[in-house]
Amino acid sequence: MKMPKKIELANLPTRIDHLDRFSEELGVDIWIKRDDQTGSEISGNKVRKLEFAVKEAIDSGCDYLITCGGIQSNHARATAAVAARLGMGSRLVLRGTERQVAEGNLFLDKMLGATVRFITPEEYSSSRVEIMQEEADKLSVEGHKAYILPEGASNGIGSFGYINAFNEILEQEERMGIEFDAIVATVGSGGTFSGLLYGNEINGNRKDIIGFNIAGTAEGFREIVMGLLEEIGEMTGAGSKLEPGDIKIIDGYPGLGYALSRKEEIDFIRHFSMTEGIILDPVYTGKAMYGLYSEIKNGNLKNYKNILFIHTGGLFGWTEEARSLI
């Protein structure tokens, strides 16, 4: 299998810990992989994808990174941080409007020197790709060369970050003398889940990869994941034999929608924090862990002995709106 090259940005491998009291409460062994600790400014899952994508950017002579996302995008912040760290420039196309006082990820984007262009939700869904290209063209006139990353760095090259993470998990299993029969991850733009799924496939499909979508529908994501698997399979030269029926994404937990929280979700996140001393984020991991908890409480997911949950980060996303619900 062909694996593209990467640069080293993340603190790897990330630790895997057993959740003692949470496991006892649910009656099944649950473990957590701390991908929220891949770094500080570049914390979270996006840096694993950026290790591959930015290598491609550097190799093609780019000196700017352009990407897009929501106003509190963890991916946009990680991209701004990587750009600054490598002496590159960054431009972020964000869905939303300028704030008097920037908080969370937007604050960090500004600290890290990113130029932010705000666009409306309509512009975001209909023409974010064209708008990013427009920014690249402007930079080109100024003598720069920009590399455009899609939302969440969820394309073929970015997904290799989680094929790599899957291999890291296999090594950790060996060292720990344990086998995880299910790996659970949040599905936001699909790259993390697709990388894990592909890693599992090329290693013989020994595990179940379970996703919880935190926006949209499971149906819609199955299509996105199929597209990503095809792209990845072309890049590795090994293809993919997975079909839509093999894609286990559990629907029912987006709640009020992307980046909108319900009181019961925040209450659960607080319960989890007090039980384990680990803080989840309100947009992604809080909803996914709430999904896992609810499914197990409802008597589902019974056939697993050791479940590994990936904490993909996102702590900077605790905005005033989410904090007000506690």
Ligand X SMILES: *Cc1c(COP(=O)(O)O)cnc(C)c1O
Tell me: does residue 216 bind ligand X (CB under 6 A).
no
The H-or-E segment that residue 182 falls in is strand 182-187
Which range touches ligand X (CB under 6 A), out of 21-29, 85-93, 116-124, 280-288? 280-288
For ligand X, the binding residue among 38, 154, 164, 240 (CB under 6 A) is: 154
Query: Which two structure tokens, joined as six digits, stand for 233?
Result: 């399979």
Tell me: does residue 155 bind ligand X (CB under 6 A).
no
Name the strands in the sheet holding 115-119, side by side, starting at the edge strand that comes first in the sequence: 115-119, 89-95, 64-70, 146-148
Q: How many residues does the chain have?
A: 326
- In the numeric block, the tokens 């992989």 are attached to 33
Q: Please identify which of the residues 23, 40, 60, 73 carries the catalytic annotation.
A: 73
Tell me: does residue 188 bind ligand X (CB under 6 A).
yes
DSSP category for residue 246: G
The whole-angstrom separation of Cα 60 and Cα 163 is: 23
Query: Which two structure tokens, joined as six digits, stand for 51?
Result: 């290790």
Q: Is the Cβ of residue 172 or residue 189 nearer to ligand X in the bound state?
A: 189
Tell me: does residue 285 bind ligand X (CB under 6 A).
yes
Strand partners, 89: 64
For ligand X, the binding residue among 14, 38, 45, 200 (CB under 6 A) is: 45
Tell me: does residue 187 bind ligand X (CB under 6 A).
yes
- Residue 49 CB, nearest distance to ligand X (Å)? 7
Q: Is the Cβ of residue 14 or residue 312 nearer to ligand X in the bound state?
A: 312
For ligand X, the binding residue among 14, 74, 105, 200 (CB under 6 A) is: 74
Residue 28: how many other CB atoms lie within 10 Å: 18
Tell me: does residue 70 bind ligand X (CB under 6 A).
no
For ligand X, the binding residue among 105, 164, 186, 306 (CB under 6 A) is: 186
For ligand X, the binding residue among 6, 55, 75, 287 (CB under 6 A) is: 75
Query: C-alpha distances in angstroms, 206 versus 34, 121, 173, 199, 254?
Result: 22, 41, 13, 10, 28
Query: What amino acid is encoded at 231 in this protein?
Result: E
Q: Is 73 a catalytic residue?
A: yes
Give the DSSP letter string of 110-140: HHTT-EEEEE-HHHHHHHHHHHHHHHHHHHH
Q: Is the Cβ of residue 147 or residue 221 nearer to ligand X in the bound state?
A: 221
DSSP category for residue 29: E
Q: Give how many residues touch ligand X by CB under 6 A.
A: 20
HSE value, Cβ hemisphere, 13 Å, CA-based, for 199: 23
For ligand X, the binding residue among 152, 156, 216, 291 (CB under 6 A) is: 152
- Residue 22 CB, nearest distance to ligand X (Å)? 19
Interface mask toward ligand X for 307-326; x: CB under 6 A: -----xxx------------
The whole-angstrom separation of Cα 315 and Cα 285 is: 10
- Residue 155 CB, nearest distance to ligand X (Å)? 11
- In the numeric block, the tokens 């990174």 are attached to 65
For ligand X, the binding residue among 109, 135, 208, 281 (CB under 6 A) is: 281
- Which positions lie near ligand X, rule CB under 6 A? 44-45, 74-75, 152, 154, 186-193, 281, 284-285, 312-314
